Structure 1
Amino acid sequence: MVRLGQEQHPSTHFGRILIRGAYHEGTNTDILIEGNRISRIAPRIELEDEPAEVIEAQGMAVIPGLINTHTHAAMTLHRGYGDDLPLMTWLEDYIWPVEAKMTELDVYVGARLACLEMIKSGTTCFLDMYMHPKQTARAAEEMGLRAMISYTLFDQGNAERAALDRQRSAEYLEYFSTLSDRISFNLGPHAIYTVSGEQLQFCHEFAQKHGVKIHLHLSETQGEVEECLRLHGTTPVRYLERLGILGPNLILAHVVWVDDEEMDLLAKYDVAVVHNPASNMKLASGYAFKYEEMKQRGIRLGLGTDGCSSSNNLDMFHAMRLASLLGKVWRFDSTAVSAADIFASSTSIGADILSIEAGRIAEGALADLCLIDLNRPEMTPLTNLTSNLVYSASGSCVDTTIVDGRILMRGGHVPGEEEILAQAREVARRIIPQE
């Protein structure tokens, strides 16, 4: 057996990893990873002479890797730029002009920074929507994360752009088929106000034919709902039903402004919804996300950070805490949006939304998991691990991150992180106007 020490590279991979003595379900447990799966969970596992990396995990808790179901990864480069402005001023005068200057290489650098931040804060899989998706895929592939990456469609009723997006959808589908099993493809029509109804129907037909997901912003602001009523005579969810594109492969981000009948429709068609509390609050899009009402209807609810331009970090612990606290305060109900429910949205339910066999510490599950340092003030005492994770912890509590059976971070350090940070600073200095 090989014990992982300071002299050994954290990403060394023997095909077998033994996690020794991690806190799991109230007791200390050994977990054996073989290949990219959890093969055995037991109080004590002996390996005899077969090679394996052994991680001594006493004083640590093992949890499923967190799943961020709505990101714009390369927008890490926009962090802290254009804050505290009205939404349209922020978009039109700050974000869009910077994005117009970004090259494919810039997107790659920004996505690598995002991957680094996610690895260091315990996220093992993310659902992304941004330009130059090949570059985000390249970054995720190199960094070792699991990712579902959208090709963003944005035709605004322009027939030529719509035709180009249809052509590119097929080309990207073929390209992504050449990547590892960790990286998957989906379509990302941006929103109902930037994508025509005909193009949304194309996305539905394409997704049905090829078995991919659709990732769409919907009902994020009151203004979006009012515009939909003006243009289409109905509200956004009803508009999608009219188009015939509601279904279990549809993942909707935000969904703040919906009524009871619309939630019934989402449940009827098994549509998944992703809550993004940080960006909703920061951009003042709305705060009364109907988590409890959707959960009671059986709607699958994931959790996302959104992009760093509107949430400023990709720390899912931060997102979990905001989601639970916000869900309580606007209802004046301290029992609403429990820590257990929010943790499930960030792990097992997120995995179900993305159709991956992760989000659980279980034999046979994908080996996407984290070790949490329990010897920290914010994790002490350990009265309730889930409560500590949601209400107390931050990404800095993560000691080790494993994805697909490979150690990506050990002891809080990711190989090459200094270079990634330096490159990101250099690109940001070039594309962000200096005050």
Structure 2
Amino acid sequence: MSQIWIKNGLFITMDDAKPTVRGHMVVTDDRITYIGEAEPQGLSESVETLDGSKLAFMPGLINTHGHAAMSLLRGFSDDQNLQVWLEQKMWPMEGKYVDQDTRAGSALAIIEMLKTGTTAFVDMYDRMDQVAQMTEQSGIRGCLTRGVIGLCSEELQKEKLADAIQFARDWNGKANGRITTMISPHAPYTCPPDYIEKFVQAAHDYQLPLHTHMSETIAEVEQNVRDYGIRPTFHLDKLGFFSRPALVAHAVHLHDEEIALLAERGVAVSHNPVSNLKLASGVARVPDMLKAGVTVSLGTDSAASNNNLDLFQEINLAALLHKGVSGDPTVVPALEALRMGTVYGARAIGQEGQIGTLAEGMKADFIAIDLEQPHFYPQTDIVSHLVYAASGKDVQHVWVDGRQVVKHKTCTFMDEEKIRYEAAASFERLLKS
């Protein structure tokens, strides 16, 4: 049994009644076994102690949408609309990927996420065995899925679907439960209706959640109406997509009826504000979704459309953007924005009650923020500071499943210098090939 006692820390628990506690926390193996103001009792003789007096501890951040291997394409194509960016820049480069490129890009993304406080991430891509291996090695928690574009022959469609199912079955529950899997047709505009139905059936067959891109741009919505006569939300519902636990990325362009349907079906949304702004896709109706009872979490999308994986930036923008758009400064309060990056993220990936809060019995996925910096003074309201002043660069330590995966800003299970070198080498090969 391993045990850690964090003394005299400031803990952001995310509990509705008492979101902060000044005191102590004990981690035993992979779980939080005590949190409170009084000193803990009955600890093991071999307990490891940590002075938390200059640190703030909070649940690890949960990034609910991304494509980790695309970190190789960071800065390769900026200032384009989505379709040009995808079809003329991203897809041709991604078509040159080999296993080593996916491995290098995923490793680069994972160390960036860990060092900026993300302890769990959703990833949709291909060659997902490479992503899963890097997830297992690094110590991060991953909800992984083989994303499938169906604009190909029927034979290739079958191969891709079989690959997606095989990956989901092989890796679900691996890495001591840190890896879970989903089934993911890429989007309604890249997958024919009958093909999406096959993914839905596979999700039922293997009791897995579903994930897809939906209503990211006006052009995408208009195309769906031209091709199928209805908007993407109703289209997916008609195909049975929401008959399984479902997470949709973006959901920027929705009517009231679509928001109501998502709430009724229990569909979660991954809000990606930075990517949506950079690609000029629009601003999602997040306050309306939250008011309707839709679970809204946060994602970075890829480093090629962001261009970083710092979820603190998404939290900050989620709080600010919707104030500016609505003209209402109360519309997404600081604590609600922080919930989007923690509590609601856990709910979106079906792990509420396991991660996303600091409480006895929860998995020990948490991060430590260095408070001894000018932008945290005076120390008035820590939630406000985390949302409006903090960034991923303030993260000092990270634990996942009770194991310290970042110590003094350095990953403990990953060779960062090697990863940076291999990522640079992969990009140079892609440029020349």
Equivalent in the alignment of 2:67? 72
Partner of 1:183: 179
Relative distance call for 1:110 and 1:47 in structure 2 (3 A) is farther
CA distance in 1, matches of 2:20, 2:141: 28
User: Match of 1:20?
Assistant: 7
Equivalent residues of 2:197, 2:241 under 8 A apart: yes
Name the CA distance, whole Å, in 1 between partners of 2:431 and 2:297: 32
Aligned to 1:33: 27
Matched, 1:109 2:104: yes
Separation (CA, whole Å) in 1 of partners of 2:297 and 2:271: 6
Counterparts of residues 79-118 of structure 1 (less than 5 Å): 79-118=74-113
Per the alignment, do residues 405 and 373 of structure 1 end up closer, same or farther by CA in structure 2, a change over 3 Å counting? same
Give the TM-score normalised by structure 2.
Answer: 0.93
- AA paired with 1:114? A
What aligned pairs does 1:184-333 form with structure 2 within 5 A after superposition? 184-247=180-243, 249-287=245-283, 289-333=284-328
Task: Give the fraction of aligned pairs with identical amino acids, expressed as a percent.
Answer: 35
d(CA) in 2 for partners of 1:207, 1:428? 35
Aligned twin of 1:10: none
Report the Cα offset of residue 33 of structure 1: 0.8
Shift of 1:52: 2.8
Aligned length: 420
Q: Please list the CA deviations of residues 287-327 of structure 1 after superposition, one character each: whole Å capped at 9, or x if unmatched.
A: 2x111111111111110000000001000001111122111
Compute the RMSD of aligned alpha carbons. 1.7
Is the CA contact 1:157–1:196 (under 8 Å) kept in the aligned structure 2?
no
Shift of 1:64: 0.3
Question: Which ranges of 4 or more aligned residues in structure 1 deviate by more than 3 Å?
Answer: 46-49
CA distance in 2: counterparts of 1:284 and 1:184, whole angstroms: 32
2:419 & 2:53 partners in 1: Cα distance? 31
After superposition, give the CA deviation of every residue in 1:148-202 in whole Å (9 maximum; x if it has no partner).
1011121126321221123223321332147221011111110001111112112
Is 1:428 aligned to residue 427 of structure 2?
Answer: yes
Q: Is the 8 A contact 2:168 2:183 kept in 1?
A: no
Q: Unmatched 5+ residue regions in structure 2?
A: 12-18
User: Which stretch shifts more, 138-147 or 334-343?
Assistant: 334-343
Q: Distance in 2 between matches of 1:244 and 1:328?
A: 35
Q: Counterparts of 2:265 and 2:81 in 1: how far apart (Å)?
A: 35
Confirm whether residue 172 of structure 1 aligns to residue 159 of structure 2: no
Q: Secondary structure at the match of 1:70?
A: coil
Counterpart Cα distance in 2 of 1:93 and 1:177: 34
Where 1:407 maps in the other structure, the secondary structure is strand
Superposed displacement of residue 211, structure 1: 1.9
Counterpart amino acid of residue 220 in structure 1? E
Pairwise CA distance, 1:47: 5.6
**3-state SS of 1:211 partner:** coil
Q: Could you say which residue in structure 1 is the equivalent of 2:15? A: none
Q: How big is the shift at 1:270?
A: 0.7
> Which residue in 1 is equivalent to 2:16?
none
**Higher deviation after alignment, 173-182 or 380-389:** 173-182
Task: Say if 1:248 and 1:269, in contact at 8 Å, map to a contact too.
Answer: no
Aligned to 1:379: 376
Q: TM-score, normalised by structure 1?
A: 0.93
Matched, 1:414 2:408: no
1:29 partner amino acid: G
Q: Distance in 1 between matches of 2:169 and 2:93?
A: 30
Q: Could you tell me whether the CA contact under 8 Å between 2:224 and 2:231 is conserved in 1?
A: yes
> Does structure 1 retain, via aligned residues, the 8 Å contact 2:323–2:331?
yes
Query: Given the superposition, is the C-alpha separation of residues 201 and 343 from structure 1 closer, same or farther in structure 2, using an over 3 Å criterion?
Result: same
